[in-house]
A and B are shown apart, each in its own frame.
Chain A
Amino acid sequence: MSDIIATDVVIVGAGPAGLFAVFELGLLDIRAHLVDILPRAGGQCSELYPEKPIYDIPGFPIVTGQGLVDNLVQQIEPFHPTYHFGEMVVSLEALGTADKPAFRVQTDAGKTFECKCVIVAAGGGSFQPKKPPIAGIDAYEGKSVHYAVRRMEDFRDHNVMIVGGGDSALDWTLNLHPVAKRITLVHRRDEFRGAPHSVNSMRELVEAGKMDLVIGQVGSLAGEGGELKTATVKLNDGTTRDIACERMMPFFGLTMKLGPIADWGLNLHENLVPADTEKFETSTPGIFAIGDINTYPGKLKLILSGFHEGALAAQKVHRYVYPDKKLTFQYTTSSTSLQKKLGVN
Protein backbone atom coordinates (compact mmCIF):
# COMPACT_ATOMS: atom_id res chain seq x y z
CA MET A 1 0.00 0.00 0.00
CA SER A 2 3.02 2.26 -0.44
CA ASP A 3 1.60 4.04 -3.45
CA ILE A 4 -1.29 5.70 -1.67
CA ILE A 5 -1.10 9.45 -2.12
CA ALA A 6 -1.97 11.20 1.14
CA THR A 7 -3.16 14.79 0.85
CA ASP A 8 -5.63 17.24 2.35
CA VAL A 9 -7.99 17.62 -0.58
CA VAL A 10 -8.63 15.89 -3.89
CA ILE A 11 -10.32 18.12 -6.45
CA VAL A 12 -12.26 16.26 -9.11
CA GLY A 13 -12.04 18.38 -12.26
CA ALA A 14 -9.48 20.97 -13.36
CA GLY A 15 -11.89 23.43 -14.96
CA PRO A 16 -11.89 27.06 -13.81
CA ALA A 17 -13.74 26.23 -10.57
CA GLY A 18 -11.34 23.43 -9.58
CA LEU A 19 -8.29 25.52 -10.49
CA PHE A 20 -9.32 28.54 -8.45
CA ALA A 21 -10.23 26.34 -5.49
CA VAL A 22 -6.52 25.47 -5.28
CA PHE A 23 -5.84 29.16 -4.69
CA GLU A 24 -8.42 29.61 -1.96
CA LEU A 25 -7.30 26.38 -0.24
CA GLY A 26 -3.66 27.33 -0.61
CA LEU A 27 -4.17 30.62 1.23
CA LEU A 28 -5.43 28.50 4.14
CA ASP A 29 -2.40 26.14 4.01
CA ILE A 30 -4.43 23.30 2.52
CA ARG A 31 -2.73 21.06 -0.04
CA ALA A 32 -4.66 19.86 -3.08
CA HIS A 33 -4.33 17.38 -5.91
CA LEU A 34 -6.33 17.94 -9.11
CA VAL A 35 -7.56 15.06 -11.26
CA ASP A 36 -9.02 15.50 -14.75
CA ILE A 37 -9.80 13.09 -17.54
CA LEU A 38 -8.65 15.69 -20.05
CA PRO A 39 -4.95 15.91 -20.91
CA ARG A 40 -4.78 19.55 -19.76
CA ALA A 41 -6.27 22.11 -17.39
CA GLY A 42 -9.25 24.30 -18.21
CA GLY A 43 -12.38 22.16 -18.55
CA GLN A 44 -14.96 23.63 -20.90
CA CYS A 45 -12.94 26.83 -21.42
CA SER A 46 -10.00 25.10 -23.05
CA GLU A 47 -11.87 22.16 -24.54
CA LEU A 48 -14.86 23.93 -26.07
CA TYR A 49 -13.96 27.57 -26.60
CA PRO A 50 -10.23 28.25 -26.18
CA GLU A 51 -10.21 31.05 -28.77
CA LYS A 52 -13.57 32.62 -27.92
CA PRO A 53 -13.78 35.79 -25.85
CA ILE A 54 -15.38 35.83 -22.39
CA TYR A 55 -16.74 39.23 -21.37
CA ASP A 56 -17.98 38.64 -17.84
CA ILE A 57 -14.94 37.77 -15.78
CA PRO A 58 -14.75 40.57 -13.20
CA GLY A 59 -11.74 42.74 -13.87
CA PHE A 60 -11.15 41.39 -17.37
CA PRO A 61 -13.21 43.28 -19.95
CA ILE A 62 -12.23 40.56 -22.40
CA VAL A 63 -10.26 37.34 -22.08
CA THR A 64 -10.28 34.18 -24.18
CA GLY A 65 -11.16 30.78 -22.73
CA GLN A 66 -7.52 29.67 -22.93
CA GLY A 67 -6.28 33.05 -21.73
CA LEU A 68 -8.32 32.73 -18.56
CA VAL A 69 -7.08 29.18 -17.96
CA ASP A 70 -3.45 30.20 -18.50
CA ASN A 71 -3.87 33.00 -15.96
CA LEU A 72 -5.51 30.69 -13.43
CA VAL A 73 -2.74 28.12 -13.78
CA GLN A 74 -0.19 30.89 -13.21
CA GLN A 75 -2.15 32.29 -10.27
CA ILE A 76 -2.22 28.96 -8.41
CA GLU A 77 1.41 28.10 -9.17
CA PRO A 78 2.66 29.30 -5.73
CA PHE A 79 0.64 26.49 -4.13
CA HIS A 80 2.25 23.76 -6.24
CA PRO A 81 -0.89 21.81 -6.98
CA THR A 82 -0.26 18.32 -8.33
CA TYR A 83 -2.10 17.67 -11.58
CA HIS A 84 -3.19 14.18 -12.60
CA PHE A 85 -4.31 14.52 -16.20
CA GLY A 86 -5.82 11.87 -18.43
CA GLU A 87 -7.33 10.12 -15.44
CA MET A 88 -10.93 9.76 -14.42
CA VAL A 89 -11.92 9.61 -10.78
CA VAL A 90 -13.95 6.42 -10.65
CA SER A 91 -14.59 5.76 -7.00
CA LEU A 92 -15.03 7.73 -3.83
CA GLU A 93 -15.32 5.90 -0.54
CA ALA A 94 -15.92 7.42 2.90
CA LEU A 95 -13.46 6.29 5.56
CA GLY A 96 -14.10 8.76 8.37
CA THR A 97 -17.00 10.18 10.33
CA ALA A 98 -19.15 13.27 9.87
CA ASP A 99 -16.94 15.21 12.33
CA LYS A 100 -13.69 13.86 11.05
CA PRO A 101 -14.25 12.97 7.43
CA ALA A 102 -11.72 11.04 5.40
CA PHE A 103 -11.99 9.58 1.93
CA ARG A 104 -10.34 7.15 -0.40
CA VAL A 105 -10.41 8.29 -4.02
CA GLN A 106 -9.41 6.09 -6.94
CA THR A 107 -8.75 6.81 -10.59
CA ASP A 108 -9.13 4.59 -13.63
CA ALA A 109 -5.35 4.64 -14.00
CA GLY A 110 -5.06 2.84 -10.68
CA LYS A 111 -4.03 5.76 -8.47
CA THR A 112 -5.33 5.86 -4.90
CA PHE A 113 -5.56 8.98 -2.77
CA GLU A 114 -6.43 9.29 0.88
CA CYS A 115 -7.65 12.73 1.81
CA LYS A 116 -9.67 14.66 4.37
CA CYS A 117 -12.03 16.36 1.96
CA VAL A 118 -13.10 16.07 -1.66
CA ILE A 119 -14.15 18.97 -3.84
CA VAL A 120 -16.26 17.87 -6.78
CA ALA A 121 -15.66 20.49 -9.49
CA ALA A 122 -16.80 18.24 -12.30
CA GLY A 123 -18.62 20.87 -14.37
CA GLY A 124 -20.85 19.38 -17.01
CA GLY A 125 -19.37 15.99 -16.23
CA SER A 126 -16.26 14.30 -17.49
CA PHE A 127 -15.32 14.69 -21.12
CA GLN A 128 -15.63 11.24 -22.61
CA PRO A 129 -15.32 9.89 -26.15
CA LYS A 130 -18.52 9.98 -28.19
CA LYS A 131 -19.81 6.52 -28.98
CA PRO A 132 -21.17 6.15 -32.48
CA PRO A 133 -24.75 4.86 -32.76
CA ILE A 134 -23.84 1.60 -34.50
CA ALA A 135 -26.26 -1.18 -33.56
CA GLY A 136 -24.73 -3.63 -31.10
CA ILE A 137 -21.45 -1.72 -30.63
CA ASP A 138 -21.73 -2.02 -26.82
CA ALA A 139 -21.14 -5.75 -27.01
CA TYR A 140 -17.68 -5.19 -28.54
CA GLU A 141 -16.54 -2.33 -26.33
CA GLY A 142 -13.53 -3.11 -24.16
CA LYS A 143 -12.59 -6.21 -26.15
CA SER A 144 -12.62 -5.16 -29.78
CA VAL A 145 -13.84 -1.59 -29.85
CA HIS A 146 -11.62 0.93 -28.06
CA TYR A 147 -11.85 4.69 -27.70
CA ALA A 148 -8.30 5.07 -26.44
CA VAL A 149 -5.13 3.03 -26.65
CA ARG A 150 -4.12 1.72 -23.25
CA ARG A 151 -1.65 -0.84 -24.57
CA MET A 152 -0.35 -0.96 -28.12
CA GLU A 153 0.08 -4.72 -27.74
CA ASP A 154 -3.70 -5.13 -27.78
CA PHE A 155 -3.56 -4.22 -31.45
CA ARG A 156 -0.59 -6.35 -32.51
CA ASP A 157 -1.18 -8.54 -35.58
CA HIS A 158 -4.82 -7.51 -35.81
CA ASN A 159 -6.75 -5.92 -38.63
CA VAL A 160 -7.51 -2.52 -37.16
CA MET A 161 -10.19 -0.15 -38.36
CA ILE A 162 -9.81 3.47 -37.36
CA VAL A 163 -12.79 5.75 -37.90
CA GLY A 164 -12.53 9.53 -38.12
CA GLY A 165 -10.63 12.34 -39.81
CA GLY A 166 -9.09 14.39 -37.02
CA ASP A 167 -5.74 14.30 -35.29
CA SER A 168 -6.57 11.40 -32.99
CA ALA A 169 -7.65 9.21 -35.91
CA LEU A 170 -4.56 10.11 -37.95
CA ASP A 171 -2.11 9.84 -35.05
CA TRP A 172 -3.31 6.37 -34.13
CA THR A 173 -3.34 5.30 -37.74
CA LEU A 174 0.34 6.19 -37.95
CA ASN A 175 1.26 4.89 -34.48
CA LEU A 176 -0.49 1.55 -34.82
CA HIS A 177 0.59 0.99 -38.40
CA PRO A 178 3.86 -0.77 -37.49
CA VAL A 179 2.09 -2.98 -34.93
CA ALA A 180 -1.14 -3.90 -36.65
CA LYS A 181 -1.56 -6.54 -39.34
CA ARG A 182 -3.35 -4.04 -41.53
CA ILE A 183 -4.93 -0.65 -40.88
CA THR A 184 -8.07 0.59 -42.57
CA LEU A 185 -8.90 4.23 -42.02
CA VAL A 186 -12.57 5.00 -42.59
CA HIS A 187 -13.65 8.61 -42.96
CA ARG A 188 -16.82 10.17 -44.33
CA ARG A 189 -15.02 12.38 -46.88
CA ASP A 190 -11.69 12.47 -48.62
CA GLU A 191 -10.59 15.55 -46.68
CA PHE A 192 -8.83 15.53 -43.35
CA ARG A 193 -8.89 18.15 -40.66
CA GLY A 194 -5.78 16.75 -38.95
CA ALA A 195 -2.27 18.21 -39.05
CA PRO A 196 -1.02 18.36 -42.69
CA HIS A 197 2.12 16.30 -42.07
CA SER A 198 0.05 13.47 -40.56
CA VAL A 199 -2.32 13.62 -43.51
CA ASN A 200 0.66 13.40 -45.88
CA SER A 201 2.22 10.47 -44.03
CA MET A 202 -1.11 8.64 -44.11
CA ARG A 203 -1.52 9.28 -47.85
CA GLU A 204 1.99 7.99 -48.53
CA LEU A 205 1.21 4.74 -46.73
CA VAL A 206 -1.98 4.37 -48.76
CA GLU A 207 -0.15 5.00 -52.03
CA ALA A 208 2.53 2.49 -51.12
CA GLY A 209 -0.23 -0.07 -50.53
CA LYS A 210 0.68 -0.35 -46.85
CA MET A 211 -2.74 0.58 -45.49
CA ASP A 212 -6.26 1.20 -46.77
CA LEU A 213 -8.30 4.35 -46.84
CA VAL A 214 -12.05 3.92 -47.28
CA ILE A 215 -14.38 6.87 -47.73
CA GLY A 216 -17.69 6.11 -46.08
CA GLN A 217 -19.38 5.52 -42.74
CA VAL A 218 -19.57 2.37 -40.63
CA GLY A 219 -23.06 0.90 -40.85
CA SER A 220 -22.95 -2.33 -38.91
CA LEU A 221 -20.68 -4.76 -37.10
CA ALA A 222 -20.49 -8.53 -37.05
CA GLY A 223 -18.69 -10.88 -34.68
CA GLU A 224 -19.20 -13.25 -31.80
CA GLY A 225 -18.83 -13.12 -28.03
CA GLY A 226 -17.52 -9.57 -28.04
CA GLU A 227 -14.92 -10.40 -30.70
CA LEU A 228 -15.39 -8.25 -33.77
CA LYS A 229 -14.85 -9.90 -37.17
CA THR A 230 -16.20 -7.56 -39.85
CA ALA A 231 -17.46 -4.03 -40.21
CA THR A 232 -19.80 -3.08 -43.02
CA VAL A 233 -19.02 0.35 -44.40
CA LYS A 234 -21.58 2.37 -46.34
CA LEU A 235 -19.72 3.99 -49.19
CA ASN A 236 -20.78 7.39 -50.41
CA ASP A 237 -22.15 5.96 -53.69
CA GLY A 238 -24.73 3.99 -51.71
CA THR A 239 -23.03 0.59 -51.94
CA THR A 240 -21.56 -1.23 -48.97
CA ARG A 241 -18.31 -3.01 -48.33
CA ASP A 242 -17.45 -5.63 -45.72
CA ILE A 243 -14.05 -5.12 -44.17
CA ALA A 244 -12.35 -7.63 -41.90
CA CYS A 245 -11.31 -6.11 -38.59
CA GLU A 246 -10.78 -7.50 -35.13
CA ARG A 247 -10.16 -4.10 -33.58
CA MET A 248 -11.92 -0.82 -34.10
CA MET A 249 -11.24 2.68 -32.83
CA PRO A 250 -13.90 5.34 -33.45
CA PHE A 251 -12.79 8.97 -32.99
CA PHE A 252 -15.73 11.35 -32.91
CA GLY A 253 -14.51 13.83 -30.33
CA LEU A 254 -15.66 14.23 -26.78
CA THR A 255 -18.92 14.80 -25.00
CA MET A 256 -19.70 15.61 -21.38
CA LYS A 257 -21.13 12.72 -19.38
CA LEU A 258 -21.87 12.76 -15.67
CA GLY A 259 -19.90 9.52 -15.40
CA PRO A 260 -19.02 7.77 -12.14
CA ILE A 261 -20.16 10.65 -9.90
CA ALA A 262 -23.60 9.07 -9.92
CA ASP A 263 -22.19 6.13 -7.92
CA TRP A 264 -20.64 8.07 -5.05
CA GLY A 265 -23.67 8.06 -2.79
CA LEU A 266 -24.31 11.78 -3.24
CA ASN A 267 -27.81 13.17 -3.57
CA LEU A 268 -28.39 14.05 -7.20
CA HIS A 269 -30.95 16.32 -8.76
CA GLU A 270 -31.23 16.09 -12.55
CA ASN A 271 -27.57 15.04 -12.81
CA LEU A 272 -26.45 17.92 -10.60
CA VAL A 273 -25.17 17.75 -7.04
CA PRO A 274 -27.19 19.82 -4.57
CA ALA A 275 -25.04 21.91 -2.21
CA ASP A 276 -25.80 24.42 0.51
CA THR A 277 -24.97 28.06 -0.16
CA GLU A 278 -22.98 28.70 3.00
CA LYS A 279 -20.14 26.27 2.42
CA PHE A 280 -21.14 24.40 -0.75
CA GLU A 281 -21.06 21.09 1.05
CA THR A 282 -23.06 18.16 -0.34
CA SER A 283 -25.26 15.66 1.48
CA THR A 284 -22.03 13.96 2.60
CA PRO A 285 -20.00 15.98 5.14
CA GLY A 286 -16.52 16.60 3.78
CA ILE A 287 -17.57 16.38 0.14
CA PHE A 288 -18.08 19.75 -1.52
CA ALA A 289 -19.50 20.62 -4.94
CA ILE A 290 -18.53 23.82 -6.76
CA GLY A 291 -18.92 25.19 -10.29
CA ASP A 292 -21.31 23.92 -12.95
CA ILE A 293 -21.85 20.54 -11.27
CA ASN A 294 -23.70 21.93 -8.26
CA THR A 295 -27.22 23.21 -7.86
CA TYR A 296 -28.97 25.39 -5.28
CA PRO A 297 -31.76 27.95 -5.44
CA GLY A 298 -30.63 30.76 -7.71
CA LYS A 299 -27.64 28.92 -9.17
CA LEU A 300 -26.07 30.52 -12.25
CA LYS A 301 -23.70 28.42 -14.32
CA LEU A 302 -21.11 31.14 -14.59
CA ILE A 303 -17.38 31.00 -14.05
CA LEU A 304 -17.59 33.73 -11.42
CA SER A 305 -20.08 31.68 -9.39
CA GLY A 306 -17.60 28.81 -9.31
CA PHE A 307 -14.90 31.15 -7.95
CA HIS A 308 -17.14 32.37 -5.14
CA GLU A 309 -18.21 28.84 -4.28
CA GLY A 310 -14.60 27.67 -4.05
CA ALA A 311 -13.72 30.48 -1.65
CA LEU A 312 -16.55 29.62 0.70
CA ALA A 313 -15.97 25.87 0.50
CA ALA A 314 -12.32 26.41 1.46
CA GLN A 315 -13.38 27.98 4.77
CA LYS A 316 -15.24 24.85 5.81
CA VAL A 317 -12.51 22.55 4.51
CA HIS A 318 -10.13 24.40 6.82
CA ARG A 319 -12.25 23.38 9.81
CA TYR A 320 -11.96 19.71 8.83
CA VAL A 321 -8.26 19.85 8.03
CA TYR A 322 -7.23 22.00 11.01
CA PRO A 323 -9.96 21.45 13.61
CA ASP A 324 -7.95 23.21 16.34
CA LYS A 325 -6.86 26.25 14.38
CA LYS A 326 -8.89 29.44 14.34
CA LEU A 327 -9.29 31.16 10.98
CA THR A 328 -8.76 34.88 10.90
CA PHE A 329 -10.04 36.72 7.88
CA GLN A 330 -7.24 38.37 5.87
CA TYR A 331 -6.69 40.25 2.62
CA THR A 332 -4.00 39.26 0.13
CA THR A 333 -3.30 42.99 -0.32
CA SER A 334 -2.24 43.63 3.24
CA SER A 335 -1.57 40.35 5.03
CA THR A 336 2.14 39.59 5.24
CA SER A 337 1.41 35.97 6.06
CA LEU A 338 -0.74 35.50 2.94
CA GLN A 339 1.87 37.26 0.85
CA LYS A 340 4.52 34.89 2.15
CA LYS A 341 2.43 31.95 0.97
CA LEU A 342 2.08 33.59 -2.42
CA GLY A 343 5.83 34.03 -2.56
CA VAL A 344 5.60 37.80 -3.03
CA ASN A 345 6.92 38.86 0.36
Chain B
Amino acid sequence: MAKITFVDSEGKSRTVDAEVGSTVMETAIRNSIPEILAECGGACACATCHVYVDEGWLAKTGKASAMEEDMLDFAFEVKPTSRLSCQIKVTADLDGLVVNTPGKQG
Protein backbone atom coordinates (compact mmCIF):
# COMPACT_ATOMS: atom_id res chain seq x y z
CA MET B 1 0.00 0.00 0.00
CA ALA B 2 1.05 3.57 -0.68
CA LYS B 3 -0.78 6.77 0.11
CA ILE B 4 -1.48 9.19 -2.74
CA THR B 5 -2.84 12.69 -2.34
CA PHE B 6 -4.84 14.29 -5.14
CA VAL B 7 -5.22 18.06 -4.95
CA ASP B 8 -7.99 19.38 -7.19
CA SER B 9 -7.96 22.63 -9.15
CA GLU B 10 -9.74 24.37 -6.28
CA GLY B 11 -7.15 23.27 -3.76
CA LYS B 12 -9.15 20.55 -2.02
CA SER B 13 -6.97 17.56 -1.23
CA ARG B 14 -7.94 13.91 -0.91
CA THR B 15 -5.59 11.22 0.35
CA VAL B 16 -6.32 7.62 -0.59
CA ASP B 17 -4.69 4.18 -0.43
CA ALA B 18 -3.09 2.95 -3.61
CA GLU B 19 -2.23 -0.64 -4.39
CA VAL B 20 1.37 -1.22 -5.39
CA GLY B 21 1.39 -2.38 -9.02
CA SER B 22 -1.73 -0.45 -10.00
CA THR B 23 -1.54 2.98 -11.63
CA VAL B 24 -2.20 6.43 -10.23
CA MET B 25 -5.13 6.75 -12.65
CA GLU B 26 -6.68 3.46 -11.46
CA THR B 27 -6.29 4.63 -7.88
CA ALA B 28 -8.12 7.85 -8.75
CA ILE B 29 -11.00 6.07 -10.51
CA ARG B 30 -11.39 3.49 -7.72
CA ASN B 31 -11.67 6.30 -5.23
CA SER B 32 -13.95 8.52 -7.36
CA ILE B 33 -11.41 11.33 -7.46
CA PRO B 34 -12.93 14.23 -9.42
CA GLU B 35 -11.09 15.81 -12.38
CA ILE B 36 -9.73 12.48 -13.62
CA LEU B 37 -11.81 11.20 -16.55
CA ALA B 38 -9.62 8.42 -18.00
CA GLU B 39 -11.87 7.84 -21.00
CA CYS B 40 -9.55 5.31 -22.61
CA GLY B 41 -9.15 3.30 -19.45
CA GLY B 42 -5.38 3.59 -19.34
CA ALA B 43 -4.52 2.91 -22.95
CA CYS B 44 -2.49 6.15 -23.22
CA ALA B 45 -4.95 7.18 -25.89
CA CYS B 46 -7.08 10.00 -24.51
CA ALA B 47 -5.04 12.35 -22.27
CA THR B 48 -8.00 12.79 -19.92
CA CYS B 49 -6.04 11.49 -16.91
CA HIS B 50 -3.62 14.45 -16.96
CA VAL B 51 -2.02 15.43 -13.62
CA TYR B 52 0.72 17.76 -12.43
CA VAL B 53 3.20 15.91 -10.24
CA ASP B 54 4.23 17.83 -7.14
CA GLU B 55 7.74 19.21 -7.76
CA GLY B 56 9.28 17.25 -4.88
CA TRP B 57 8.16 13.95 -6.40
CA LEU B 58 9.34 14.43 -9.96
CA ALA B 59 12.56 12.50 -9.45
CA LYS B 60 10.65 9.49 -8.12
CA THR B 61 7.85 9.39 -10.70
CA GLY B 62 10.32 9.82 -13.52
CA LYS B 63 9.69 11.38 -16.90
CA ALA B 64 7.01 10.75 -19.47
CA SER B 65 7.88 8.23 -22.18
CA ALA B 66 7.95 9.37 -25.82
CA MET B 67 4.49 7.92 -26.41
CA GLU B 68 3.15 9.67 -23.31
CA GLU B 69 4.70 13.00 -24.41
CA ASP B 70 2.91 12.59 -27.74
CA MET B 71 -0.38 12.02 -25.97
CA LEU B 72 0.24 15.01 -23.69
CA ASP B 73 -0.14 17.13 -26.84
CA PHE B 74 -3.86 16.46 -26.42
CA ALA B 75 -3.95 17.71 -22.82
CA PHE B 76 -4.61 21.31 -21.84
CA GLU B 77 -2.20 23.66 -20.07
CA VAL B 78 0.70 21.27 -20.13
CA LYS B 79 3.58 22.12 -17.77
CA PRO B 80 6.99 20.57 -17.19
CA THR B 81 5.42 18.63 -14.29
CA SER B 82 2.65 17.18 -16.48
CA ARG B 83 2.13 13.42 -16.62
CA LEU B 84 -0.65 11.09 -17.68
CA SER B 85 -1.61 9.35 -14.46
CA CYS B 86 -2.36 6.05 -16.21
CA GLN B 87 1.32 5.87 -17.05
CA ILE B 88 2.55 6.24 -13.46
CA LYS B 89 2.86 2.85 -11.80
CA VAL B 90 2.44 2.85 -8.03
CA THR B 91 5.52 1.55 -6.21
CA ALA B 92 6.34 1.49 -2.50
CA ASP B 93 8.71 4.37 -3.29
CA LEU B 94 5.76 6.55 -4.22
CA ASP B 95 4.20 6.33 -0.74
CA GLY B 96 3.12 9.93 0.02
CA LEU B 97 2.97 11.05 -3.63
CA VAL B 98 1.13 14.32 -4.25
CA VAL B 99 -0.42 15.15 -7.62
CA ASN B 100 -2.54 18.11 -8.70
CA THR B 101 -5.44 17.70 -11.09
CA PRO B 102 -6.31 20.27 -13.80
CA GLY B 103 -9.69 21.99 -14.00
CA LYS B 104 -10.47 20.63 -17.46
CA GLN B 105 -9.62 17.28 -19.01
CA GLY B 106 -12.01 16.85 -21.93
Q: A-side interface residues toward B, CB under 8 Å?
A: 48-49, 52, 124, 130, 132-133, 164-166, 187-189, 191, 193, 217, 252-253, 255-257
Contact = CB atoms under 8 A, between A and B. Distances in A.
B39 A253 contact: no
11 contacts: A48-B45, A52-B43, A124-B39, A132-B76, A133-B103, A166-B74, A188-B72, A188-B73, A188-B78, A255-B46, A255-B106
Contacts of B103: 133
B77 A217 contact: yes
A191 B39 contact: no
Interface in B63-77: 69-70, 72-77
A164 B78 CA distance: 12
B9 to A, nearest CB: 10
Contact of B46 (A187, A188, A193, A253): A253
B39 A187 contact: no
Nearest to A51: B43
Contacts of B105: 255
A133 B76 contact: yes
Interface string B40-81: 110101111000000000000000000001101111111000
B30 interface: no
Nearest to B43: A49
A124 B37 CA distance: 12
A133 B43 contact: no
A49 B40 contact: yes
Contacts of A253: 46-47, 74
Contacts of A49: 40-41, 43, 45
Nearest to B45: A48
Contacts of A164: 73
A189 B45 CA distance: 19
Given A48-B40, A164-B73, 19 more contacts: A49-B41, A124-B39, A132-B76, A133-B77, A133-B103, A133-B104, A166-B73, A188-B73, A188-B78, A189-B69, A189-B73, A191-B69, A217-B77, A252-B47, A252-B74, A253-B46, A253-B74, A255-B37, A255-B46
B74 A130 contact: yes
Contacts of A187: 73
A50 B74 CA distance: 18
A262 to B, nearest CB: 17
B84 to A, nearest CB: 13
